[in-house]
Structure 1
Amino acid sequence: MPSCSVTEISKCIVYPEKKSTVSDLRLSVSDLPMLSCHYIQKGVLLSSPPPSFSFDDLVSSLRRSLSSTLSLFPALAGRFSTSPAGHISIVCNDAGVDFVAASAKHVKVSDVLLPGKDVPLLFREFFVFERLVSYNGHHKPLAAVQVTELDDGVFIGCTVNHSVTDGTSFWHFFNTFADVTSGACKIKHLPDFSRHTVFDSPAVLRVPPGGPRVTFDADQPLRERIFHFSREAITKLKQRTNNRVNGIETAVNDGRKCNGNGENNGKITTVLDSFLKSDTNNKKTHDRTAEISSFQSLSAQLWRSVTRARNLDPSKTTTFRMAVNCRHRLEPKMDPYYFGNAIQSIPTLASAGDLLSKDLRWSAEQLHRNVVAHDDATVRRGIAAWESDPRLFPLGNPDGASITMGSSPRFPMYDNDFGWGKPLAVRSGGANKFDGKISAFPGREGNGSVDLEVVLAPETMTGIENDAEFMQYVSQVTYDC
Structure 2
Amino acid sequence: MPSSSPTLFSKCTIIPDQKSTIGNLKLSVSDLPMLSCHYIQKGCLFTKPSIPFHNLIPIIKTALSRTLSIFPPLAGRLTTDSDGYVYLTCNDAGVDFITAVATELYIHDLLSTTDVNDSFKEFFTFDRKVSYSGHYSPIMAVQVTELSDGIFIGCAVNHAVTDGTSFWNFFNTFAQLCRGANKCIRNSPSFRRDSVLISNAVLRLPEGGPVVTFNADAPIRERIFSFSRESIQKLKARANNRRWTENNNAVELMQKHMNDHYNNNNSNNQKENGKVAALIENWFKNNVNSKQQTVTVTETETVEISSFQSLCALLWRAVTRARKFHPSKTTTFRMAVNCRHRVKPELDSFYFGNAIQSVPTYASAGDVMSKDIRWCAEQLNKNVKAHDNVMCVMCS
Is TM (by shorter chain) over 0.5? yes
Which SS does the other structure have where 1:226 is aligned? coil
Q: What is the CA deviation profile of residues 163-190 of structure 1, one whole-angstrom value per residue up to 9, with x for unaligned ones?
A: 0000000001111111111101221121
Q: What is the aligned partner in structure 2 of residue 42 from structure 1?
A: 42
Among 319, 329, 342, the alignment partner of 2:332 is: 319
Which SS does the other structure have where 1:234 is aligned? helix
Aligned mates of 2:131, 2:302 — CA distance in 1: 36
| Residues 8-17 or 203-212, more deviating | 203-212
Which SS does the other structure have where 1:363 is aligned? helix
Aligned-pair CA distance for 1:311: 1.5
* Matching residue's letter, 1:5: S
Q: 1:57 to 1:374 in 2, by over 3 A?
A: same
Counting only pairs closer than 5 Å after superposition, residues 169-318 of structure 1 correspond to structure 2 as 169-186=166-183, 187-245=185-243, 290-318=303-331
Q: What is the aligned partner in structure 2 of residue 349 from structure 1?
A: 362
Which SS does the other structure have where 1:240 is aligned? helix
Q: What is the aligned partner in structure 2 of residue 126 from structure 1?
A: 123
Q: 1:278 to 1:367 in 2, by over 3 A?
A: farther
* Matching residue's letter, 1:129: F
Aligned-pair CA distance for 1:4: 2.9
Contact 1:104 1:149 in 2 (8 A): yes
Aligned-pair CA distance for 1:239: 2.0
Which SS does the other structure have where 2:122 is aligned? helix
Which SS does the other structure have where 2:337 is aligned? strand
Q: 1:288 to 1:194 in 2, by over 3 A?
A: farther
Contact 2:305 2:378 in 1 (8 A): yes
* Matching residue's letter, 2:102: A
Aligned-pair CA distance for 1:318: 1.2
Contact 1:19 1:71 in 2 (8 A): yes
Aligned-pair CA distance for 1:291: 2.5
* Matching residue's letter, 1:109: I
Q: What is the aligned partner in structure 1 of residue 106 from structure 2?
A: 108
Q: 1:280 to 1:31 in 2, by over 3 A?
A: farther
Aligned mates of 2:332, 2:219 — CA distance in 1: 21
Aligned-pair CA distance for 1:245: 4.5
| Residues 207-216 or 39-48, more deviating | 207-216
Contact 2:78 2:88 in 1 (8 A): yes
* Matching residue's letter, 2:13: I
Aligned mates of 1:178, 1:280 — CA distance in 2: 41
* Matching residue's letter, 1:227: F
Runs (4+) of structure 1 moved beyond 6 Å? Answer: 277-282, 286-289
- Is residue 10 from structure 1 mapped to residue 10 from structure 2 by the alignment? yes
Identity %: 60
Q: 1:56 to 1:343 in 2, by over 3 A?
A: same
Contact 1:80 1:88 in 2 (8 A): yes
Which SS does the other structure have where 1:229 is aligned? coil
Which SS does the other structure have where 2:194 is aligned? coil
- Is residue 82 from structure 1 mapped to residue 80 from structure 2 by the alignment? yes
Q: What is the aligned partner in structure 2 of residue 156 from structure 1?
A: 153
Aligned mates of 1:367, 1:335 — CA distance in 2: 26
Aligned mates of 1:6, 1:338 — CA distance in 2: 35
Which SS does the other structure have where 1:42 is aligned? strand
Aligned-pair CA distance for 1:279: 8.9
Contact 1:78 1:96 in 2 (8 A): yes
How many residue pairs match? The answer is 348
* Matching residue's letter, 1:13: T
Q: TM-score, normalised by structure 2?
A: 0.84
* Matching residue's letter, 1:202: N
Aligned-pair CA distance for 1:289: 6.6
Aligned mates of 1:224, 1:325 — CA distance in 2: 26
* Matching residue's letter, 2:217: D
Contact 1:289 1:372 in 2 (8 A): no
Aligned mates of 1:337, 1:124 — CA distance in 2: 29
Aligned mates of 2:175, 2:300 — CA distance in 1: 37
Aligned-pair CA distance for 1:357: 1.6
Q: What is the CA deviation profile of residues 301-320 of structure 1, one whole-angstrom value per residue up to 9, with x for unaligned ones?
A: 11101111112222222111
* Matching residue's letter, 1:108: Y
* Matching residue's letter, 1:225: R
Aligned mates of 1:69, 1:109 — CA distance in 2: 28
Contact 2:13 2:94 in 1 (8 A): yes
- Is residue 382 from structure 1 mapped to residue 395 from structure 2 by the alignment? yes
Instruction: Specify which structure has the higher proportion of helix.
Output: 2
Aligned mates of 1:344, 1:370 — CA distance in 2: 12
Among 128, 134, 138, the alignment partner of 1:141 is: 138
Aligned mates of 1:244, 1:110 — CA distance in 2: 38
Aligned-pair CA distance for 1:76: 0.4
Contact 2:339 2:392 in 1 (8 A): yes
Tell me: higher relative CO, structure 1 or 2? Use CA pairs within 8 A at least 6 residues apart.
1
Q: What is the CA deviation profile of residues 432-467 of structure 1, one whole-angstrom value per residue up to 9, with x for unaligned ones?
A: xxxxxxxxxxxxxxxxxxxxxxxxxxxxxxxxxxxx
> Unaligned regions of 5+ residues in structure 2, if any?
245-289
Q: What is the CA deviation profile of residues 389-416 of structure 1, one whole-angstrom value per residue up to 9, with x for unaligned ones?
A: xxxxxxxxxxxxxxxxxxxxxxxxxxxx
Q: What is the aligned partner in structure 2 of residue 334 from structure 1?
A: 347
Q: What is the aligned partner in structure 2 of residue 469 from structure 1?
A: none
Which SS does the other structure have where 2:101 is aligned? strand
Aligned-pair CA distance for 1:280: 6.5
Q: What is the aligned partner in structure 1 of residue 281 from structure 2?
A: none
* Matching residue's letter, 2:115: D
> Unaligned regions of 5+ residues in structure 1, if any?
247-276, 384-481
Aligned mates of 2:221, 2:71 — CA distance in 1: 35
Q: What is the CA deviation profile of residues 329-379 of structure 1, one whole-angstrom value per residue up to 9, with x for unaligned ones?
A: 123321111000000000111121221122222211211110110111211
Contact 1:128 1:159 in 2 (8 A): yes
Contact 2:10 2:100 in 1 (8 A): yes
Q: TM-score, normalised by structure 1?
A: 0.69
| Residues 203-212 or 91-100, more deviating | 203-212
Q: What is the aligned partner in structure 2 of residue 32 from structure 1?
A: 32
Aligned mates of 1:318, 1:220 — CA distance in 2: 23
Aligned mates of 1:288, 1:353 — CA distance in 2: 24
Contact 2:243 2:294 in 1 (8 A): no
